[in-house]
Amino acid sequence: MKLIDSHCHFDFDAFAPDRSRVWQRCLAAGVSRMIIPGVCEAQWQPLADLVKGQPGWYAAAGIHPWWVGRIEDLTVSAEGLDQLGHALTSHVREYACVAVGECGLDTAIDTPLAQQEAVFRLQIEVACALQLPLVLHVHRTHNAVLRLLKHYRPPRGGVVHAFSGSEQMAGDYWQLGFYLGVGGTVTYPRAAKTRRTFSRVPLQSLLLESDAPDMPLSGRQGRRNSPEHLPLIAAELAELRGVSTDEIANTTRHNTEMLFSL
Ligand SMILES: [Zn+2]
């Protein structure tokens, strides 16, 4: 079995003490590639340095909504956004990032939505201009995000990471060329709606992800999540859909390769 973790913050400090040992365990478990999202401008370069010369690790670059409020001097002026757009464009080009993100909208934080949306729009525009997929973070903002995607129609689509929502919502994203990220949520019996959605939508629309070090699996709450647990998510999805884990592994791996042009 060969799996790709389509969303793992493997560059975060949580993995600093034992990153190479965790990676060895990933390889032993069949997790041989991963996409590592960008979260803020200061992190892009260290991330690019981390993935350099490391087979199977791919970097994206973007500004996560949780970091939007921390951008110094961002008054969401045309000039400030312009500079940010130039910095993102040149970084993505120079380091051959595989996607723009993670980016999106989140109502659970204090940063005003207008400010989040300005920075999100900027990243959608960069993805459109560079013909790259988007890695989306969508928290209770599906309608607003879908409205923006229908407006821009990003040519390479992307992925809604850690998707939780209805089958209808999943279909709306898929029609716009957006895959759905299946994470640890499916291992929780109480996540009935999300489990039902993932049992019904086309397997061709799904990617696997850990979102490590966040999103621990059921039974592992309060502990650091790790990409080495990805096979458990694959097994859970296989059981939900009544297919073999190999079929889940092969199809989601193919989907991930297609989306990110791996
Ligand atoms: Zn993330």
> Mind listing the pLDDT tens digit for each residue in 76-127?
678 888 999 999 999 999 999 999 999 999 999 999 999 999 999 999 999 9
Q: Specify the pLDDT at position 143.
A: 96
Compute the average pLDDT of residues 53-68: 96
pLDDT top residue among 85 and 72: 85
Strand, coil or helix: 105: strand
Of all residues in the chain, what percent carry a pLDDT higher than 90?
94
What mean pLDDT value characterizes the chain?
Answer: 96
Residue 44 predicted with pLDDT over 80: yes
pLDDT confidence tier of residue 4, bands split at 50, 70 and 90 = very high
Cis-peptide, bond into residue 227, ω within 30° of zero: no
Give residue 37 CA to ligand 1 midpoint distance, Å: 7
User: Quick one: how far is CA 211 from the chain centroid?
Assistant: 7
Compute the average pLDDT of residues 41-47: 97
Give residue 161 CA to ligand 1 midpoint distance, Å: 7
Residue 74 predicted with pLDDT over 70: no
Give residue 201 CA to ligand 1 midpoint distance, Å: 22
Give residue 196 CA to ligand 1 midpoint distance, Å: 23
Give residue 230 CA to ligand 1 midpoint distance, Å: 15
Q: Do the beta carbons of residue 180 and residue 170 sit within 8 Å? A: yes
**Alpha-helix residue ranges (DSSP H) falling in the chain:** 19-29, 41-51, 65-68, 78-94, 113-130, 142-152, 167-175, 192-200, 230-241, 245-260
Q: Do the beta carbons of residue 208 and residue 4 sit within 8 Å? A: yes
**Cα–Cα distance, 128 to 123 (Å, whole number):** 9
